[in-house]
Amino acid sequence: MRFGIVGAGAIGCLFGASLSRAGHDVTLIHRDLSIVRAIQKNGVSLRETDKTVTRVRVPVRRGPTPLPGTEVLIIAVKAYDTKAVAASYRGIVPFETTVLSLQNGLGNIETLQSELKNELLAGSTTEGAFSLGPGSVLHTGRGLTVIGDPRGTKSETCSRIKIAFEEARFRTKISSNMAGVLWTKAIVNAAINPLSGLTRLSNDALAKSAKIREIGFRVIDEGISVSRAERVILAGDPRKLWRRILLSTSANKSSMLQDIERRKMTEIRQLNGAILSRGKRRGVETPTNGILTKLVLGIEESSNP
C-alpha cells in the first residue's frame, strides 16, 4: 500500500520505518525543515529493546504537501496540532485517499471531519516509542493497534490497513466501537501521562507505586463517570489496561514526560482537560483531572515564560 504519514515524531517514524521495511511505499511528512533534512540525510534509525538497530531509508517531505496516489494518509501529530493540520490539508488531499488518525486524546476525529471530506478512520495504539532525536526512535514496548470506522460501519480499506500493519509486525485489530476505544485510551493516558510528567517516573516505577496507583485510579473513575454521561461504551477495563500498558512499556517515558523535559507543549488539554470540560458540560465532578490539568499547565507556563 502507499502511505503518507503526517508527523515524523516517535510514532510516525516507528510506523513509517516498519511499514517501509515490510515493503510498503511510505512518505513521511513533517513541518520542521531541520527534521526533514536530518531524515533525508540519515534515514530513520529504529532501535529495539534488545539493542538491535535498523536504519531504514524513508522518503520525507516538508508539509503540508500534496501526495497524489496516496492510499492512506496517517495523521500522527500531537493532538493540539490536529486543527492546523486539518485546515492545511483541506483541498490538497485527493478524495480517494483515506485519512487515518493515529493520535492520543479526544476530539481529533471531530476536528478532522470538520475540514476533510475523505473517508476517515480512527486509530489507537499502545506501541511504546521514545524519540532519541530527529528520525531516531527507541521501540520501548510492543502493544496493540486498533483501527476502525468511527461510524461503526465496515471498511474495506480498514481491512487492507490491518494486513499492512501486521506485515509490519504491529498486532492489529478492527473495532466497530472506536468511540469506546478512543475514550478508554484517553482515560488510561490521563491516568499515566500527567503523573509521569509531574513525578518524572518511568512507566515501571509508576506501576510499582501504591500512592501513584491511588491517584491514577481516581482519574480513571472520574473518566468512566464522564464517559457514561456521554453514553460511550468503553472498550475494556481502563484499570486493567492502565497496569498492562505500564508493565508492557516498562522502559518507556510517557510522551508527556518527554514533552515536559523538552519544554514543549503537552497534550494535557486533549486528555485530562477534555475529561474535565466534558464533565462540566454533563454535570459530572472531575476534581482529580482538574488538579492535574492545572499542574501541567503550570509547568508549561514556567517552561515558556
Question: Grid coordinates standing for 28?
Answer: 513521511
Q: How far apart are CA 251 and CA 50, in angstroms?
A: 12
pLDDT band at 245 (very low <50, low <70, confident <90, very high): confident
Cβ neighbours around 101 below 10 Å, total = 27
User: Helices (DSSP H) in 90-209: which residue ranges?
Assistant: 108-115, 156-167, 178-190, 193-199, 203-208
CB crowding 77-89: b at 16 or more within 10 Å, else e = bbbebbeebbebb
Structural domains of the chain, ranges and CATH numbers in brackets: 2-176 (3.40.50.720), 181-303 (1.10.1040.10)
Is the separation of the CB atoms in 63 and 29 below 8 Å?
yes
Residue 250 pLDDT greater than 80, yes or no: no
Q: What is the DSSP string of 194-250?
A: HHHHHH---HHHHHH-HHHHHHHHHHHHHHHHHHHHTT---SS-HHHHHHHHHHHTT
Q: Which of 78, 154, 162, 185 is catalytic?
A: 185
User: How buried is residue 63: exposed, middle or buried, by Cβ count under 10 Å (0-12/13-18/19+)?
Assistant: buried
Q: Which residues contact 94 (CB under 8 A, 6 or more apart)?
A: 66, 67, 68, 69, 70
Beta strands at 120-125 and 145-148: parallel, antiparallel or unpaired: antiparallel
Q: What is the chain's mean pLDDT, rounded?
A: 94
pLDDT score, position 109: 96
pLDDT score, position 49: 78
Question: Grid coordinates standing for 87?
Answer: 485546515
pLDDT band at 305 (very low <50, low <70, confident <90, very high): low
According to DSSP, the residues that pair with 48 across neighbouring strands are: 139
Is the separation of the CB atoms in 204 and 247 below 8 Å?
yes
Residue 305 Cα distances to 80, 269, 297, 298, angstroms: 19, 19, 12, 10
pTM value is 0.92
Asked if 185 is an active-site residue, the reply is: yes
pLDDT digits (tens, 9 = 90+) for 28-47: 999 999 999 999 999 999 99
Q: Which comes out higher in pLDDT, residue 252 or 269?
A: 269
Q: How far apart are CA 200 and CA 202, in angstroms?
A: 7
pLDDT score, position 128: 85
Question: Grid coordinates standing for 27?
Answer: 512518505
Residue 79 Cα distances to 112, 129, 269, angstroms: 11, 17, 9
Mean pLDDT to the nearest integer, 118-147 = 93
Beta strands at 98-102 and 128-133: parallel, antiparallel or unpaired: unpaired
